[in-house]
Structures are given as structure tokens and as C-alpha cells.
Amino acid sequence: MSLFRQISSLARHSAIYAVSTAMQRLPGFLLLPIYTNFHYIPTQDDFGDYVIVFTFIAFMNFFFLYGMDSAMMRYFFLGKSDRKTVFSTTFYILLLTSLISTTAVMFFSGNIAQFLLKSVDYQPLIRIAALILLFDTFGNLPYFILRAEEKSIQFTAYKSLRFTLELGFNILFVVILHKGVMGIFYTSLAAAIVNLLVMSPIIFRYLQPRLDVSLGREMLRFGLPLLPNGIAFMTIEMIDRILVPTFLNKAALASYGANYRFGAILLLLITAFRNAWQPFFLKIANQENARKIYASVLTYFVIGAGMIVLLVSYFIRDLLTFPFLGKYYILAETAYWDGISIIPIILLSYFFFGIYVILTPGFYIRKKTRYMIIFTGCGAAVNIAANLFLLPLLNSFWGAAWATLLSYLAMAVTIYIVANRIYPIAVEWGRISKIFAMIALLLGVYFYFQPGFIARIIIMLVMILYCIFGVLLNAERRMITTRLRGLFGR
């Protein structure tokens, strides 16, 4: 199969996963007008509580999985055991450890509530969080199977159902029953339980009454080194949610957290790409041209993601402050608008995270996952240090935004240095440097000159033309033209 055809296959699966990832994240965006409306979530402090507890859930998710999800994916493709044995071994190990972890969170829920939210009155939220983690651990395993089987359409269909559940339960608990922040967590728990029930046929299709102890030990040796890596990554993602209210207040966290979601639009696309990327690079690992394909994917990502960073940065404020039907805003209360300016910084942060993701294949192929902690650990150290320095210095959540950017930049730089020794690929620095320069120049223009709407449209049109005719090769332009003609039937 030609390089372009293989990359087109990756792009097709990524596009389908993008729909499912959007469905997964869409409730959070669609419900922001409700979450940021004081009629339903009475104060910014309440929204801040929601951000903190969901931060805890995201952080603990790595403790519940501790790299076994990645181990299962690897041994599906490159292991010697059949897939049912791999899945069954993963399932039974996770069953034991998840029950232990859930019991521990339940037992210490008061201490956790006191530490995170400064009051044991929030203990019920922590207990619900523990149950969400338990049901999601097993409800997500079938999605790994669908990814391994490259059944992206089925994957998307199930994620769409999860989206419908999230949206419906939110309307029930938050809008109709007025349960406030607690209603958001009731929603997540109900959706997690129903999702597990719906996905159970896929589980039972693979689940066998056997546990391969030898395979389990091998998978743990592969997966456990990813646990500190996951902890470090979640430190990068989440420590600001703890430090912002510590140095500032919960209202600042609410504004930061609400606007951060729009910067995470690029993370949504990277997550979709990652769902397709891991099985893809493992499947082609033994091909002679594998490294060339990996290098080309990096180039195309930098071009595409760079354009997204600039397009969203230039127009996101217009979208969030536009009065739909004359009176409705995506961010319902103007108290949240002061955080809009950080969105380009968060977008740029995830741009570098995407580069990090694309540079990971060698560590899976060479079984060098123990090195991953170097990159995420470096990023976490930079993030904590930058937050501790910048938050009090700037006395603003801008400190947290800059800390996020610096940490992901550190991850991208360190993984490139090490990957170039373990599993080098011929990075197309000539073309990539053009995109870097374009992003730096146009973001500088945006922040310094603050061009008007028409001027921004003209700048973006010039940017697109530059990428097409100044960065893409003739063969790539012909391929795109051919694809477009086929798409529109010409």
C-alpha cells in the first residue's frame, strides 16, 4: 500500500473517531450556557467545585488503569497470545485492583473532600466520583477492543449513544430537577452505568474464564511504567485546577476552567487522532517505510493543527460573545468572559502535545515505555514550577495558561531528543519550521495589533494560501485535488 493511501486510511479513521470524540465532549460544550448560568449553577464557586472534583476523577483514572489499557492494545498486535486471552487477563486484573481502589476512595472520602474542597461536607461528591471511576474502567474496555479491530464506525455509534445519555441525564438532573453541581455527578454516574450495560455484549464476546498469569506479569511489566507517566501527565493537565483557587479563588478557577474547554478543542481532535494512531503505528511497525510514514504524519499534523490554532484563536472571541437570538450567549454570564484571552495559549499548548503523541511509536515498538516518565516528568516539573512562580507574580490565571504551554513544549522537546536516539525518524524540519514561524508571527499580530474582523479574515485567507502553495508539495496538492474531486463526484 502506498504512503498516501496508508495515511489516508489513518486520516479516515481519525475523522470517524473525531465524530465520536466530539460526541463524548459535546455535552460539556452544549451545557456550558447552563453550567455558567447562575439560575442552574448559582455561583462561580459552585462551578469551581465541579471543576475540582472532575479534575480528581481524571487524575484517579490513571490509578484505576495504571497502563493496562496500553498494555492490552500492544499485546493485541505484537504479543504471542490470542486476543481473548489478552482481554480476559486484563479484565480480571483490573477487576481486582479497581475494587480495591474504589473501596480506598470510599473509605478516605472525607479526607479527600477536606483536602480538595476544604470541607468534609463534600464527601458525597467524592463517593459518587469513586463509583464513576469504577463503572467507567470497565465500560471503556470495549472501546479499546473496537479500536484494535479498527471498527471506528461502531466505536462512534457507541460514543454517540453515550453523548445522548449524558445530554439527557444533564437535562433531567440539572435543568428539570435543579440538583446543581450534584446533578452533574448524578448524570455522569447514570451514564457510566448504562454505558457499561450497553457495552457488555462486546465484553462477553472476548471474556473467557481464564487468567494467564505469565501474560499478566508481562503486561504489568509493560503497563506499570506508564503509571508514573500518567500521573505526571495528569499533573500537567490538572495541577493548575488546584493551584488557581489556592493562589486566587474559586471564581477565578471557574472562569479559567470554562474557557480552558475551548482551548481544549484541539485536544479533542488529538484524542480522536490518538485513537486511530496507536493501532495504526503498531500495525505498520514492521514495514520498511514505517519511519517515513511516521515522519510524514508529523508534518501533516503540524500543518493541519497549526492552521486550527490560528483559525480558532482569531475568531473564538467573536463566537463566545455573540448574542444568539439577540440575548443568548455560549458563556451565559459575562463574569466568565475575562478568561477568553487565554484560549490561544491553551490551543498552542495542545499543538505541542500533538507533536509529543506522534513521536511515541518507537517507545512502544522497542518496549521502552519506562522512558516515558522522563518526558511527562519534565513537563510536570516545569508545570508546577511555572505555576508556583507565575500565579503569584501575575496574580491572574494567565500564569496557569503560560505554565501549561511551557510544560507541553518541554514534553515535545524532550521526547524528540530521546526518540531520535532510540527510534529516529527523518523529521522534515524545513517544512515544519515554516509552520512554526507562521504561528509565532500571526499570534503576535493577533495579540499586539488586535486586528478587526475583516482584517482577520484576510489574514486567515493569506495563511491558508501560504500553507497550500508555500508548504505543501506538488504531489500532495495533486492528491488533495484528486480526493476532493472523488468526494464531490467530479
Evaluate if residue 485 carries a pLDDT over 70.
Answer: no
Quote the CA–CA distance of 389 and 239 in Å, as a whole number.
Answer: 14
Position 82 scores a pLDDT of 82
Residue 258's pLDDT band, with cuts at 50, 70 and 90, is confident
Q: Which of 14-18, 31-35, 195-199 has the lowest mean pLDDT?
A: 14-18
Q: How far apart are CA 135 and CA 192, in angstroms?
A: 6
pLDDT digits (tens, 9 = 90+) for 284-340: 788 888 888 889 889 999 999 999 999 999 999 998 888 887 777 777 767 788 889
Confidence of residue 233 (pLDDT cuts 50, 70, 90): confident
Residue 224, judged by CB atoms within 10 A of its CB (0-12, 13-18, 19+), counts as: middle
Dihedral of alpha carbons 86, 92, 96, 101, sign:
positive
pLDDT digits (tens, 9 = 90+) for 77-118: 776 778 888 889 989 999 999 999 999 999 999 999 998 888
Strands (E), 300-342: none
Asked if pLDDT for residue 431 goes beyond 90, the answer is yes
Judged against a pLDDT cut of 70, whether residue 24 lies above it is answered with: no
| Whether the Cβ atoms of residue 35 and residue 172 lie closer than 8 Å to each other | no
- The mean pLDDT value for 213-228 works out to 84
* Stretch 381-407: mean pLDDT: 95
How far apart (Å, rounded) are the C-alpha atoms in residues 304 and 200?
37
Cell numbers of 279, please?
A: 493501532
pLDDT score recorded for residue 3: 63
Closest by CA to 9, choosing from 287, 465, 1, is: 1
Mean pLDDT estimate for the chain: 85
The pLDDT confidence band at residue 225, using thresholds 50, 70 and 90, is: confident
Vertex 215 angle, CA 274 and 294, to 5°: 25
CB burial readout 304-316, b (16+ within 10 A) else e: bbbbbbbebbbeb
What is residue 141's predicted lDDT score, i.e. its pLDDT? 87
pLDDT of 142 strictly over 60: yes
**Segment (H or E) for 198:** helix 180-206
Q: Residues 187-193: what's their mean pLDDT? A: 92
pLDDT at 132 over 80: yes
Q: What is the mean pLDDT of residues 385-413?
A: 95
Q: What is the mean pLDDT of the segment spanning 392-405?
A: 94
- Residue 15's φ and ψ, nearest 5 degrees, are -65, -40
Q: Give the 3-state secondary structure of residue 328.
A: strand
The full set of domain ranges for the chain reads 1-30+224-490, 31-221
Pick the closest to residue 377 from 220, 223, 226 (CA basis).
Answer: 226
**Full-model pTM:** 0.75
